[in-house]
Amino acid sequence: MTTRAEFLKRLESWGVKLAKDVLELKEPVMEIPARTLGNTIWDEKARMLKLGPEKMHRRFLDMKEARRFMQTVLMLRLIVEAIREDVYPTIRDLYYNGKHTISFKDPLSRVHRENTWDEQSESNAVIEDIEVATNVLREEMGVSADVKGKIVGPIVVRSQGYELDASKFGETALSLPVNVDGLEIVKVEAAYVLVVEKDAIFQRLVREKYWSQENAILVTAKGMPDRATRRFVRRLNEEYKLPVYVLTDGDPYGWYIYSVYKSGSIKLSYESERLATPDAKFLGLTATDIDAYKISDNYVIAANDRDVKRAQELLRYPWFQKPEWTREVNLFLKKKKKVEIEALSTHGLKFLHDYLKDKIRGKKFID
C-alpha cells in the first residue's frame, strides 16, 4: 500500500512544477481534469460514472482564474503542511486555517482587501481539484469530512481495538468513522442492507425494530451521502455480498441520491470505483407508487419548477437511460406530483414495514 509520505511527494512535486515554471518565467498553468457533466462518462460495463479525459487549464494570468489559482496554491500548502506535521485535519479545519484577508496596496496607494475564500464550498472545491489533479484522494491525504453516516443491525466492527456490536445500540446508532477502510468488520449476519435517505425514517425503523425482524442492516447518511457512508455500503456489498436496497423520497432529488449510491456522482466521478455500489436496488418511492399504493391526496405534493428542471436533467443522464427510469421520470413530469416517504403512513404507521417487505419479497424494485 502507498504510504502517506509517498502521497506527500506527489503533492509536493505538483507544487514544485508550478514554482519552477514561475522561476523560468513561464506562466504557471494547472492542468486539472474537468469535474463537469460534460466530462463525466457513463461506463456501461462497470455500471458506474467515470472521469473523462477532458482537462481544464487554470492559469495564473487569466483574470477570471487568478483567484482560484491562488486558492488552489493555498490549499495545496495547507494539505502538504498537514502531512508534513502528521496531523489529520477535516475539510472544515482547512477552510478555517486558510481563511484570511489579503490586503494589497496598489501603486496608486489604494488598498484592496479580499478574503482568500468566503464560503467553505470554495475551499472544498479546490480540495477536489487537487485530488483529481494529483491523483491523490482526500482520504489518502488524511483529510476528512464530517461523516453523517450511521448504522444499526447485526454487524460487529472493530474500531481502535474496541469491538462494537451495531445491534446493541438500543434506540441510538453506531456512527461511521472518517476512515471506514480502517474499520475492521468482525462479523456480519444480515440478510440485506437497507439504505434510508432520511434520518427520521431511519430512527422510526430502529425504534420499531424493523432491522431485527428483517435481520437487516439499516444505514442512513441524512440526505446526500458523504464518501465514508458510500464507501461502507460498497464494502458491505462487495465484501459480504449483501443485497443493498435504497429507500428515498419519491422526487427527482431522492432518485438522484439513489443514483449516487449506485453509480457515483458527477462531482466525484473520479471516486466511483471506490464508492459506487452498482448492485444497489431502488425500492421507492416511485411515481407509480402513488397510484399503486393508493396514497391519499393529503400526502401528495405538487412539484415545483425546480423539481421539474431536476427531472428533465435526470432524463438526460446516460445512467438513467433505463426503460423503468424513463417511465418513472416521465410519469412524474406528466403528473407533476411528488411524495415523501412519510406518505406511506396513509395506511397507518405500520404500513411502511408492509411496503418494504412487499417491495423486497416481490422484487418490485428498480435496478
Partner 1 sequence: MYAYEALPVAEWFRRNRELAGFHNPTRALYQTVRELVENSLDATETYGILPTIYLRINIEDEQKSWVSVYAEDNGIGIPGAEIPNVFGRVFYSSKYRIKQHRGVFGLGLKMVVLYAQSTTNKPVYVRSAALKSDKIYEYQIMIDTNSNSPIILDRKEYPNKYRWHGTAVKVYLEGSWLAAKKRIEDYLKRTAIIAPYAEIAFKGPDMELWLKRRTTKLPPAPKEGLPHPKSVDVDTLKQMVAESRGMTLLEFLMESFDAVGEGTAKVFLEWAGFNPNMKVTAMTPEEMVKLVEKMKQYGGWRRPRSEWLSPVGAELLEIGAKAILGAEAVFAVTRKPESYGGHPFIVEAAVAWGGQIPPSDKPVLLRYANKIPLLYDEGADVARKVVDEFNWQNYKVKFPASLAVIIHVCSTKIPYASAGKEAIAEVPEIEKEMRLALRDAAKKLRLYLSRKEKEMEMFNRYVSLAKYVDEIAHNLAITSRLDKDKLAKHLHKLIETKIGLTVEELVKHTLSLSAAPQEAEETAAQ
Given candidates 4, 9, 10, 12, which one binds partner 1 under the rule CB under 8 A? 12
Report in angstroms how near the CB of residue 130 gets to partner 1 at its nearest: 11
Q: What distance in Å separates the CA atoms of residue 110 and residue 131, rounded to the nearest whole number?
A: 37
Q: Which is nearer to partner 1, 105 or 361 (CB)?
A: 105
State how far Cα 120 lies from the chain centre: 16
327 interacts with partner 1 by CB under 8 A: no
Q: What distance in Å separates the CA atoms of residue 133 and residue 64, rounded to the nearest whole number?
A: 19
Binding-site residue total for partner 1 (CB under 8 A)?
32
Given candidates 41, 80, 137, 200, which one binds partner 1 under the rule CB under 8 A? 80
Nearest to 288 by CA among 222, 345, 225, 355: 355
Q: What distance in Å separates the CA atoms of residue 255 and residue 247, rounded to the nearest whole number?
A: 9
Q: What distance in Å separates the CA atoms of residue 105 and residue 167, rounded to the nearest whole number?
A: 62
Q: What distance in Å separates the CA atoms of residue 28 and residue 54, rounded to the nearest whole number?
A: 19
Three-class secondary structure of residue 10 per DSSP: helix
Q: What residues does 40 pair with on adjacent strands?
A: 51
The grid cell for 164 is 462494537
Report in angstroms how near the CB of residue 87 gets to partner 1 at its nearest: 15
- Which of these ranges, 41-49, 72-80, 278-286, 324-332, lies near partner 1 under the rule CB under 8 A? 72-80
Label residue 44 exposed, middle or buried (CB < 10 Å: 0-12, 13-18, 19+).
exposed
Q: Which is nearer to partner 1, 107 or 362 (CB)?
A: 107
Contact 183, 208 (CB under 8 A): no
- Which of these ranges, 56-64, 119-127, 191-199, 270-278, lies near partner 1 under the rule CB under 8 A? 56-64
Buried b (16+ CB within 10 A) or exposed e, 243-272: bbbbbbbbbbbbbbbbbbbbbbbbbbbbbb
**Does residue 96 carry a catalytic annotation?**
yes
69 interacts with partner 1 by CB under 8 A: yes
Report in angstroms how near the CB of residue 73 gets to partner 1 at its nearest: 5
Q: What distance in Å separates the CA atoms of residue 73 and residue 18, rounded to the nearest whole number?
A: 9
Catalytic residue from among 88, 96, 258, 355: 96
5 interacts with partner 1 by CB under 8 A: no
Q: Which is nearer to partner 1, 112 or 168 (CB)?
A: 112
Report in angstroms how near the CB of residue 56 gets to partner 1 at its nearest: 19
Given candidates 7, 11, 117, 206, which one binds partner 1 under the rule CB under 8 A? 11
Given candidates 76, 147, 174, 344, which one binds partner 1 under the rule CB under 8 A? 76
Q: Which is nearer to partner 1, 129 or 340 (CB)?
A: 129
Q: Which is nearer to partner 1, 15 or 154 (CB)?
A: 15
114 interacts with partner 1 by CB under 8 A: yes
Given candidates 6, 44, 54, 81, which one binds partner 1 under the rule CB under 8 A? 81
Contact 244, 253 (CB under 8 A): no
Q: What distance in Å separates the CA atoms of residue 313 and residue 305, rounded to the nearest whole number?
A: 12
Chain residues binding partner 1 by CB under 8 A are 11-12, 15-16, 18-20, 22-23, 25, 27, 60-61, 63, 66-67, 69-70, 73-74, 76-77, 80-81, 102, 104, 106-108, 112, 114, 116
Which residues are marked as active site? 96
